[in-house]
Amino acid sequence: MGIVNYQQYCQMLDNAKQNKFAYPAINVSSSETANAALLGFKQAKSDGIVQVSTGGGKFGSGLGVGDMAKGAIALATYIHVLAEEYDVNIALHTDHCHPKNVEPFLKPLIQETARRRANGLPNLFNSHMYDGSELPLEENIANSKALMKLCVENEIILEVETGVVGGEEDGHDTSGLPADKLYTTPEDMVYTAKELGEVGRFMLAATFGNVHGVYKPGNVKLTPTILRDGQAAVEAALGADARLDLVFHGGSGSELHEIHETLDYGVIKMNIDTDTQYAYTRPIVEQMFKNYDGVLKIEGEVGNKSVYDPRSYGKKAEQSMADRISQACDDLRSTGTSLGKNI
């Protein structure tokens, strides 16, 4: 079906919210990982979200360019072309954009979508994330509101974050922050819903102890009831229609029952990056270890082209990552929920 439009994206999010499941949002940084994401959603018969971070965009542009916005544009354009060949609906999103990257990353991408729309073309991205969580809440939301107005003009949904996701991702390290910064309060959620809800539809990454990176099960101390209490506070203050579309960041190492609990409280999107990185790399390492004398020209030998050809291990990596995405769809209950051509 290809990349959805604004109305179709809203239908996807509404479907998740009404039926208490979430879409895996898969970070990609290359055509190969983009292919794996599309394949994973196809295998699961799940609609899904493919996303690019600032670091992923920079990597995707290659060493000769090193431009996060141009790389994101190139990856999104590639996905637009290939997604047409898949029988599931795909939304394109950009991940954490911190305040310092608004000018070099977020605004150029919004401008690119505006340019495309003026020429009768579909949006490049369906949604973007502005992560102003390092700022005081009032400043964070004020900046979010200004960006959201630009997004609404172009039928783009903005994702924002209150509280801070711990750990390190894409070179942004929050591991030294005090523990209370890892938890959004009900008051934060009500304030955000009131300020941004009057502008348009948005998603909120409310934090409840989540941490970026990979951890053994049990090492991350989540408090999903924070989401429940925040949603209840929003409903009490602003009405049932104001209940938030929530996003779960930093889910690696989370217990499955905790993930399922968040779905009951309104999580409709969960970011997946660390686990799919490992799934992609694991078969490549195996190929190298098992074919050491084939991938290297040892002692004057010529090696074995069939095992050092990048396609030989690239296909294995793509399939492994796709299988991990299919597992994520199972965990998030999105398997078999594709709206297909009905949207």
* Residues annotated as catalytic (active site), given as ranges: 95
CA distance 40 to 51: 14
Q: Where are the alpha helices (H) located in 131-224, listed in sequence order?
A: 137-153, 186-197
110-142: string of b/e by CB count within 10 Å (b at 16+)? bebbbeeeeeeeebbbbbbbbbbbbeebeebbe
H-run or E-run covering 281:
helix 274-290
Residue type for position 195: E
CA distance 164 to 179: 9
The pair of structure tokens assigned to 321 is 């990552």
* 211 in Cβ contact with 250 (< 8 Å): yes
CA distance 9 to 121: 17
Residue type for position 98: H
The pair of structure tokens assigned to 4 is 């959805």
Q: Would you tell me the crossing angle of helices 225-238 and 186-197 to the nearest 10 degrees?
A: 50
Contacts with 78 (C-beta within 8 Å, 6 or more apart), sequence order: 31, 34
* 69 in Cβ contact with 53 (< 8 Å): no
- DSSP lists the bridge partners of residue 246 as 204, 267
104: how many CB neighbours lie within 10 A of its CB?
15
CA distance 288 to 195: 53
